[in-house]
Every structure is written in C-alpha cells, then in structure tokens.
A = this chain, B = another copy of it.
Amino acid sequence: MHGGRDDEGEPVIQSIDRAAKILTLLQGSRRMGISELAAALDLPPSTVHGIVKSLQAHGLVAQQPSGNRYVLGPALLKLSSVYLDTLDVRARAMRWMHELSSRTGLATRLGAELFGEVIVIHHDRRPDGTEQMPETGLTIPSHASALGKVLLAYDSAHAADALSRPLAALTADTVTDPEQVRAGLEQVRREALGFENEEAVIGESSVAAPVCSEDGDVVAAVAVVMPSTDWPPSDALIGALRDAARSISRDLGAPTWPPRPPAPARA
C-alpha cells in the first residue's frame, strides 16, 4: 500500500518534470497538439506552449510541416546514439552476439531494465538477407519476455516494481498473474535461463540468459529469438546462448558465471 515511485516527494524542478512528461506523452501518442497536451497534463495551454517551444529550440520536439501538431525531435536520436556508445555491456556484447546470430541463424537481443520494462540495447539480425525491423530501442513488458524474466529473477527491485501493476496480455499465452510469474522466476534462477513461448508475439519465442558485470550483478540479458515452429530450443542452441552470455560476462570482468542468485537459498 505504501509502495510507489512518484509520491516519494523528491525535489524535482517543476518545468523540467513537466517537459519530461510531455516527451513521455509524445512517446505514447505520436503527434499531439498543444491543447491536447495541456488537457492531458491538466495545465493551461499557454504553459504547455512555453515548454514545448523550449524543447523545440533544442530539437527535442519538432512540429510537423502540417502546422499545429508536435512530435518527438531528431536531437533525441543523436542523444540516444551517444547513450548507446557509453554502454560497456553493449560494446562488449556486440561481438559475441554477432557470433551467436551467425551460429544459430537467428536474431539476438540484448536487454536491460528501464522503469520496470525491458529495453532492447542491441539487436543483431538473422543472418539471412531478409528485411528486418531494427529493434534497438524497443521496450517489452518484463513479464512477457525471456529477457524480462531473467532480469526480474536477479533484480528484486525490478520485480517488485514490474509485478505490482496489472500485467498486460499481449497474446493468449501471456501470463498475467503476478504470483505465477514470480513462481516461474525460481526456475529461472536455478537454470540461469529464461524462456518464453508466444507470450509476447504470436509465432515468436525466445530464450534468454543473464549477463553479469564486474561486481557480479546482473546488468543485462541476452536472448535468442526463434520462430515458434522451432520450439523447444535445441540443446545446441541453448549451449550457444550460454556460451555467449558467459563470454560477455567474462569480458566485463564478472567473477563467476552463472551468477549467484541474490536471495538467500539454503544449500
């Protein structure tokens, strides 16, 4: 009952807070007018206008040629590009993920936690020449993905956050009961593997393994994405995935792999 994130009373600068909320709103519904934003935030239009114009001056939002609708701006792209460059995990992972994709013939993803969801930090395509959407930057609900289950299993704060709100059903197979999800995490910890079979996208399944940093924490997860027709994953595939996860972790200076579960478990 007393849990939450925004009633903490943290000292946040009002206008920046509002600006960030506007960006988040534009993230949800792509193109919005001033008064639309104003209504959503319960603020006078003139206030919103000032904020939006300030964001626009820095390219963080842009108004489309049509005139009176605003969208996210190009400066965000450059910022995110630099953000990706600062991530050691990603830099180290890229090489092994490419190898993993080559060996398995499947797409691979690297994910980390962002506000209770999973954000894809790197994506290596299937090596066949087909056209594939870039997935870097996508966010996926934690409870419905292999990546998410792994991250949940080793980060209790993340788990508490993600499982405290109602879980969306993305397909018929999505597990929407928090307790059931939580129960599954036990096994994830035991095997250091997370599975997901058509729980997020129909026809698509995945397996994920944890990636550890220098001080043994799980900072990310790698996944292999496969067509559901290939389910369950072969031992060879799982072996390759574990190899990749171990290699990345080793490159990062992790002392052990698989990681020791955080919660006390009697021998």
Query: Which residues of B sit under 8 angstroms from A85, Cβ to Cβ?
Result: 30
**Distance (whole angstroms) from the CB of A26 to the closest CB of chain B:** 8
| Cβ A73 vs Cβ B81 within 8 A | no
Given contacts A78-B137, A79-B76, contact A30 B86 (CB under 8 A): yes
Contacts of A74 in B (CB 8 A): 83, 112, 114, 119
- Say yes or no: is A193 at the interface (Cβ < 8 Å to chain B): no
Shortest CB distance A68–B (Å): 16
Q: Which of A13-21, A144-152, A226-234, A240-248 contacts B (4 or more CB under 8 A)?
A: A13-21
A134 interfacial contact with B, CB 8 Å = yes
> Total interface residues on A, using CB and 8 Å?
61
A115 to chain B, nearest CB (A): 6
A224 at the interface (CB under 8 A from B): no
Q: In whole Å, how far is A133's beta carbon from the nearest beta carbon of chain B?
A: 8
Q: How far is the CB of A29 from chain B (nearest CB, A)?
A: 10
Given A53-B10, A60-B20, A136-B134: A72 and B83 interface contact (C-beta under 8 Å): yes
Contact B10 A77 (CB under 8 A): no
* A119 in complex: contacting residue of B11, B16, B78, CB < 8 Å: B78
User: What 0/1 pattern do residues 49 to 76 of A give for CB contact below 8 A with B?
Assistant: 0110111011110000100000111111
Contact A72 B78, beta carbon cutoff 8 Å: no
Question: In chain A, residues 7-51, which have Cβ atoms closer than 8 Å to a Cβ of chain B?
Answer: 10-13, 15-17, 19-20, 23-24, 26-27, 30-31, 50-51
Is A80's CB under 8 angstroms from B82's CB? Answer: no
A19 close to B19 (CB less than 8 A): yes
Q: Looking at the complex, which of A94-102, A173-181, A199-207 is the stretch in contact with chain B?
A: A94-102
Which chain B residue lies CB-closest to A134? B136
Is A83 within 8 A of B79, CB to CB? no
User: A98: which B residues are within 8 A, CB to CB?
Assistant: 131
Residues of B within 8 A of A16 (CB): 15-16, 19, 51, 54-55
Name the distance in Å between A17's Cβ and chain B's nearest Cβ. 6
Give the residues in chain B near A129, CB-CB below 8 Å: 102, 127
Answer yes or no: A138 CB below 8 A from chain B CBs. yes
A-B contacts, 8 listed (Cβ < 8 Å) = A17-B57, A65-B213, A71-B83, A71-B86, A74-B119, A76-B76, A77-B80, A78-B114
8 new A-B contacts at CB < 8 Å, known A26-B82, A77-B84, A77-B119: A72-B83, A74-B119, A77-B121, A77-B137, A78-B137, A78-B139, A80-B81, A94-B131
